[in-house]
Amino acid sequence: MSHPARLEYVSANDLLTGEVVFLASDGRWVQDLGGAMFFADPDEGALRLIQAGADAGRVVGPCLADAAQDGAQEPVHFRERVRATGPSNDYHGQQVRAAHV
């Protein structure tokens, strides 16, 4: 039985706003996970994480997160799902932003 392919992406918090951001393919940090760059190659993930770590003037705590490649690119871990979708206890944060897009 084959397992779904795993992807990785780089997640962090914006230094000035504190909000969750994701590394995009052009090196920018974006707030929407849909704009993030996903890696199938672990070596590329490790390299991108090193590059993100050098961006300490813009972000705090960059880390690699796992995503499942099963149609949608969804975070595997609950913590990262919550970070991507916003607080679960109220309608604020990412949910409000998505409603205004």
Partner 1 sequence: MYDYADFDAAFIRLRVDQFRDQVARRIDGSLTEEEFRPLRLMNGLYLQLHAYMLRVVIPHGSLTPDQLRQLAWIAETWDKGYGHFTSRQNIQFIWPQLRDVPDMLKALADVGMHAIQTSGATIRNVTADHFAGAAADEVEDPRPPQS
User: Which residues here bind partner 1, judged by CB under 8 A?
Assistant: 13, 15-20, 56-57, 60-61, 79, 82-83, 86-87, 92-94
Which of 49/82 has CB closer to partner 1? 82
Which amino acid is residue 92, in one-letter code?
H
Torsion of CA 52, 27, 70, 99, to 10 degrees: 110
Nearest-5° angle of CA 52, CA 63, CA 3? Answer: 120
Q: Are 21 and 11 in contact (CB under 8 A)?
A: yes
Q: How far is the CB of 47 from partner 1 (least distance, A)?
A: 21
Which of 6/81 has CB closer to partner 1? 81
Which of 55/74 has CB closer to partner 1? 55
